[in-house]
């Protein structure tokens, strides 16, 4: 008889793959990733086609409202979310202190604190106690304010004053404006918008699953999102775009590609920007971003394309039978660099898109009142045999 957990309906232990790979934990209507096909979608619409043809706000509407908007509803939703970009006075006043305290770790670390403060200042209540409209309103407010928080924290960390958001700019253009202080040209704003749309959601990755676990407890929206940000901060999840560019910098020139890559592959090191736990074909996000990078052109793009070609050839030679291609982080770093984003803002920029996907998952999870509570199999040293405790005597004393 097992000593840990319930004994009801237990027979043979179930073997669970490391990292819960492939384990289905719930059902969702938000989207799916088909790794063997190299395809993923949001509510049945190809995510790549949405990135190519729709605005960020339209896809936000799709995930929150369940449908793509027509022109009128698109404009209304964009105006509604733009009006939510400004910070409450108390949060704005606290940002300099948060930026100073989090300076060594960067804006993503500061965002966890700032978003929690924002939720408290707005009176966010547990999703368990709210109706659907109130949950959605909280999620909209939190998602809309994340770019404002991130860019303000970055600028304060650089000794610059934050830039107030503009209602007349799109989500992506406003993000670049608040980051740099200058209105971006249309090509760069659109390139960043396409990147943001392509990364809004992507199955039950670690941060999305974290958000849903917290939502299952009935916690407020800000708490769910802060937990997701914590998961994203890990280098195996959201930290690869800048590391992929660091790889290009370390290689340096074309004549060094083969030797540099072979040495690291033979040493068992991971090549950042290559391979994905789900895709067994080319990552469709990488393919799209490669096309965007090539539209900009230039020496860095040419070098990245050549590195990709040689790395894939070397991996096919040294690791036969494994499909290892560039993932979204490889060309995401190239595109963001071309659009003028500093490398320390690559992962925060990813978070500014993914917060919408996290929020949509929080809203979906909140409709189910069952807490997520899996079990673990104990594999440590056997505990001592329990000693029965005598029942109390009639007088109340233990014999």
Question: In sequence order, what are the residues at sequence separation of 6 or more whose Cβ sits closer than 8 angstroms to the Cβ of residue 259?
Answer: none
Catalytic residue check, 276 = yes
d(CA 225, CA 355): 7
Catalytic residue among 193, 308, 329, 337: 329
Catalytic residue among 61, 276, 325, 337: 276
Largest CA distance in the chain: 90
If one counts every other C-beta atom within 10 angstroms of the C-beta of residue 59, the result is 27
For 39, list phi and psi in degrees, rounded to 5. Answer: -145, 140
- Are residues 179 and 151 in contact, defined by beta-carbon separation less than 8 angstroms? yes
Catalytic residue check, 269 = no
Closest C-alpha to 362, from 217, 255, 238:
217
Question: In sequence order, what are the residues at sequence separation of 6 or more whose Cβ sits closer than 8 angstroms to the Cβ of residue 275?
Answer: 324, 325, 327
Closest C-alpha to 349, from 337, 361, 360:
337
- Are residues 333 and 346 in contact, defined by beta-carbon separation less than 8 angstroms? yes
- Are residues 326 and 288 in contact, defined by beta-carbon separation less than 8 angstroms? no
User: Which helix H or strand E contains 374, and what residues bound it?
Assistant: none
Q: Catalytic site residues?
A: 276, 329
């Amino acid at each position: 008889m097992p000593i840990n957990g319930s004994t009801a309906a237990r027979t043979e232990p179930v073997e669970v793959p490391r990292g819960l790979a492939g384990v289905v934990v719930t059902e969702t209507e938000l989207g799916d990733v088909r790794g063997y096909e190299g395809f993923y979608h949001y509510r049945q619409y190809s995510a790549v086609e949405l990135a190519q043809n729709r605005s960020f706000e339209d896809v936000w509407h799709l995930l929150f409202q369940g449908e793509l908007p027509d022109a009128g509803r698109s404009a209304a939703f964009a105006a509604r979310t733009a009006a939510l970009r400004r910070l409450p006075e108390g949060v704005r006043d606290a940002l300099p202190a948060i930026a100073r305290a989090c300076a060594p770790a960067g804006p993503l670390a500061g965002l966890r604190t700032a978003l929690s403060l924002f939720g408290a200042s707005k009176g966010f209540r547990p999703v368990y106690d709210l109706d659907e409209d109130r949950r959605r309103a909280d999620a909209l407010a939190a998602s809309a304010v994340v770019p404002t928080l991130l860019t303000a924290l970055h600028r304060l960390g650089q000794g610059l004053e934050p830039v107030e958001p503009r209602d007349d700019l799109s989500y992506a253009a406003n993000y670049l404006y608040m980051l740099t202080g200058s209105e971006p040209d249309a090509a760069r704003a659109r390139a960043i918008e396409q990147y943001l749309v392509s990364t809004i959601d992507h199955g039950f990755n670690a941060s999305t699953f974290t958000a849903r676990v917290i939502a299952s407890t009935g916690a407020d929206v800000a708490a769910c999102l802060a937990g997701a940000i914590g998961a994203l901060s890990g280098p195996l999840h959201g930290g690869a775009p800048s590391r992929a560019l660091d790889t290009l910098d370390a290689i340096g020139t074309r004549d060094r590609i083969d030797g540099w890559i072979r040495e690291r592959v033979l040493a068992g090191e991971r090549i950042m920007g290559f391979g994905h736990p789900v895709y067994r074909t080319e990552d469709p996000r990488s393919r799209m971003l490669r096309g965007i990078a090539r539209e900009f052109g230039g020496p860095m793009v040419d070098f990245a394309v050549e590195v990709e070609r040689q790395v894939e050839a070397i991996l096919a030679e040294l690791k036969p039978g494994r499909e290892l291609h560039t993932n979204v982080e490889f060309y995401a770093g190239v595109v963001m660099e071309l659009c003028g984003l500093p490398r320390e803002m690559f992962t925060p920029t990813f978070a500014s898109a993914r917060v919408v996907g996290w929020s949509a998952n929080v809203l979906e999870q909140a409709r189910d009142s069952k807490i997520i509570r899996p079990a673990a199999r104990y594999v440590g040293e056997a505990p001592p045999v329990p000693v029965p405790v005598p029942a109390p005597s009639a007088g109340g004393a233990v014999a």
